[in-house]
Amino acid sequence: MNRQELLKDWYIRYHLVFGKRYTIRQKKRFLKSLSADILPFRQDIKLDTFKLNEKDKNEYQNLYVGNIKKADTIICTYYDTPAVRCSPYHFFDIEHRKKSLTTFILFSSILYIIIGFLFTLLVAIPIFQTKEIGSIWFILCILFYIVYFYFLNKVTRGLPKRNNLIQNTSSILLLLNCIASFHSKRLAFALVDAGCTNDVGLEKLMNESDAKVYMLDSIGSEKPLYQVMPNSNQYREIESVDQVDSLVFTNDRLVYIISGDKKDDQFILSRKDLQKKKLNESNMNNLFSFLEQVERRKFK
């Protein structure tokens, strides 16, 4: 299979087959498939499983390719996908993510409970009062409640978003292409967990390594590309990419490369932009060319 066919195969697999990476099960299936796709090119794959703290019940997993402790440069992105929400995507704003998700879960849960209440009042109670146990209508009501509470549990946990090509499958596809193309031992790759929630996967990576990290986020959108960093001295020229100093994060080793709208001091992608089903090939090609220069040590 040549490179072009391989890229098409990855596009289908990670956009359509493993496009949702929200639950623990979905993320584990994705990581298993991803590891299998990387193995023909690299065998130095490591899966790092960890918790935020000893009391935390949530388990996170980062996947590393190469030695992150010896590398001086890491190309990174997050692989998890978000829950459905009504608001645009605000880069770097963890509190906004939490508030947006909580608001959507609260609204959808109330609406779902109202539907259940109306069904009980208008349908179930009359059937239970007039139909015998074991009748077809009685059994159908019981089946309805089984299905109803199954989906109520999902609604209260957040519904996984279906189309995640822009956020953040586009970045994963570019990273896979880089892994297959670049072979410098001083360069490593990372796919981190919780990029759509609390960024704990990125924090774990930054604590484990002293390397400079290029973090890719939603690069496949139709919006302009930006390098966002706390120190303009780190700026490296990329075709069609603007440089922005930001005080949102202060780690000089971290450089974000994102695609979005800049509004005052914020970066945003609208819901319409997030729902696009076509990649911006110009963004993808420009960034690959830049990262190729990074791999060749033209930039450090």
Report the CATH number that the domain containing residue 50 is assigned in CATH: 3.40.630.10
Q: Average the pLDDT over each of 13-17, 50-54, 224-228 and give the range with the smallest value.
A: 50-54
Residue 131 pLDDT? 83
Residue-number span of the structural domain to which 273 is assigned: 3-83+162-295
Dihedrals phi, psi of 214, to nearest 5 degrees: -100, 110
Residue 299 pLDDT? 54
300 found inside a domain: no
Distance (Å, rounded) from C-alpha 266 to C-alpha 41? 38
CA 289 from chain centre, in angstroms, equals 23
Amino acid at residue number 186:
R
pTM of the predicted model as reported, rounded to 2 decimal places: 0.90
Same domain for 248 and 217, yes or no, is yes
**Digit-coded pLDDT (tens) for 206-239:** 999 999 999 999 999 999 999 888 766 655 666 6
DSSP states along 91-155: TT-HHHHHHHHHHHHHHHHHHHHHHHHHHIIIIIHHHHHHS-TTSHHHHHHHHHHHHHHHHHHHH
The residue among 127, 157, 187 that closes a domain is 157
The residue among 139, 157, 175 that closes a domain is 157
Residue 160 carries which DSSP code? Answer: B
51 found inside a domain: yes
Residue 240 pLDDT? 66
Same domain for 179 and 36, yes or no, is yes
Under the banding of pLDDT at 50, 70 and 90, the label for residue 1 is low
The residue among 110, 138, 157 that closes a domain is 157
Mean of pLDDT values over 144-170:
93
Distance (Å, rounded) from C-alpha 47 to C-alpha 31? 9
Number of domains in the chain: 2
119 found inside a domain: yes
Same domain for 221 and 150, yes or no, is no
Same domain for 210 and 291, yes or no, is yes
Distance (Å, rounded) from C-alpha 35 to C-alpha 174? 15
**Digit-coded pLDDT (tens) for 123-133:** 999 998 888 88
Mean of pLDDT values over 48-74:
90
- Count Cα atoms within 13 angstroms, Cβ side, for 182: 27
The b/e string for 177-209 (b: 16+ C-beta within 10 A; e otherwise) is bbbbebeeeebbbbbbbbbbbbbbbbebbbebb
Same domain for 201 and 284, yes or no, is yes
End-to-end CA distance of the chain: 33
